[in-house]
Amino acid sequence: MYVVIKKLCVLLFIFALFIENASFANQPVSWDKLPSLNNIHSFEMQHTPGNKPSQTHYIFVKLPDEYDQNEAASYPVLYLLDGDTNFPLMASYYHYLRFMEDVPPMIIVGLSYGSFDWKQGNNRSHDFTVASKQAEHYGGASRFESFLRNSLLPEIKKRYRINESRQILFGQSLGGQFVLYSALYGAAPFYAVIASNPALHRNLDYFKQDAKPRADRPEIYITSAEFDADRFKTPLLDWHNHWQKKKPEWQYRFEHLPAHNHLSATPESIRLGLKALLEEN
């Protein structure tokens, strides 16, 4: 009997340890245990895209570690379209970029729709595009740029110490179409834009129109991935060849990215673009 009771006690002790450890394993962990994602702020903004219902944008902002150390300092700003994915990607990658001194201290701003589903309010294919006969839902670029110019940029300026002369907009795919629209035909006061594999496949002719005259045109940095899908890559190369022959008064840089595809190019496009655009100034 004594042996049985002893074994039972041992089993109960082991069970108690298991329950304690299981309980400990189920405790939530606070986000400050991911130090590469510290100094993040967030707020909401409203935008009315034409005849569509009012659109909520979720704005996420990562401040540099140095931000609170010098109240007189101001910082370049990188605005990320498709912030639903690109903000968490770059907010953490920024830690590596700073460690390797690829970029200066900067503020990162992500614009998120809060969903990847257009039925749940992700209107990127409307907001980021000019009109297309092939896609009726295209065509919101002008209003979206007005939202950036008149609402978002002034709000970021009001909340944070930014270097207004060093604001850079990044977009990929349809977001890349939008940043080309903004630089060539818009008026938002960006210092530069970075377009990663801009998708021009449904409205290429629009982007063969000459650019809108402006004295403060942003610098334009474009990347094209080696293994981008033909439906994106072919129209982009067509566009590139068109303007190489026309030799317009405005200029752009065109970078080929070996071994990358449509989406893997995103962080490399940002890294190379920021280095090229900020190192020289």
pLDDT digits (tens, 9 = 90+) for 169-182: 999 999 999 999 99
Q: Are 146 and 157 in contact (CB under 8 A)?
A: no
Q: Is 131 exposed, middle or buried (0-12, 13-18, 19+ CB in 10 A)?
A: middle
- Cα-based torsion angle of the residue sequence 254, 258, 259, 262 in order, rounded to the nearest 10 degrees: 10
Dihedral sign computed on CA atoms, order 104, 109, 114, 120: negative
Q: Are 39 and 64 in contact (CB under 8 A)?
A: yes
Answer whether residue 13 is part of any domain.
no
Query: Which pTM was predicted?
Result: 0.89
pLDDT in the model for residue 11: 47
Answer whether residue 12 is part of any domain.
no
Cα 258 to the center of its chain, rounded Å: 21
- How does pLDDT run along the chain (281 residues), one tens digit per residue? 555 445 444 444 555 545 555 555 678 888 788 888 899 999 999 887 666 678 899 999 999 999 999 999 999 999 999 999 999 999 999 999 999 999 999 999 999 999 999 888 889 999 999 999 998 899 999 999 999 999 999 999 999 999 999 999 999 999 999 999 999 999 999 999 999 999 999 999 999 999 999 999 999 999 999 999 999 999 999 999 999 999 999 999 999 999 999 999 999 999 999 999 998 65
Q: What's the angle, vertex CA 157, arms to CA 98 and CA 57, rounded to 5?
A: 85
Answer whether residue 243 is part of any domain.
yes
pLDDT in the model for residue 8: 45
Query: Cβ atoms within 10 A of the Cβ of 274, count?
Result: 23
Number of domains into which the chain is organized: 1
pLDDT in the model for residue 4: 45
**For the chain, where are the alpha helices, taking DSSP H only?**
2-25, 83-99, 124-127, 141-147, 153-159, 174-185, 230-246, 265-279
Q: Domain limits at 171? A: 32-279
User: Which residue's structure tokens are 């701003």?
Assistant: 109
Q: What is the CATH number of the domain that holds 156?
A: 3.40.50.1820
pLDDT in the model for residue 154: 97
pLDDT in the model for residue 241: 97
Q: What is the DSSP code string of 36-61?
A: GG-SEEEEEEEE--TTSPPEEEEEEE
- Determine if residue 68 is left, alpha or beta; phi over 0 gives left, psi from -120 to 50 gives alpha, anything else beta: alpha
Q: Is 52 exposed, middle or buried (0-12, 13-18, 19+ CB in 10 A)?
A: middle
Q: Are 129 and 141 in contact (CB under 8 A)?
A: yes
Answer whether residue 87 is part of any domain.
yes
pLDDT digits (tens, 9 = 90+) for 86-135: 999 999 999 999 999 999 999 999 999 999 998 888 899 999 999 999 98
pLDDT in the model for residue 201: 96
Q: Are 267 and 82 in contact (CB under 8 A)?
A: no
Answer whether residue 27 is part of any domain.
no
Answer whether residue 255 is part of any domain.
yes
Answer whether residue 78 is part of any domain.
yes
pLDDT in the model for residue 101: 95
pLDDT in the model for residue 1: 52
Which of 135, 131, 219 lies closest to 182 in space, CA to CA? 219
Answer whether residue 10 is part of any domain.
no
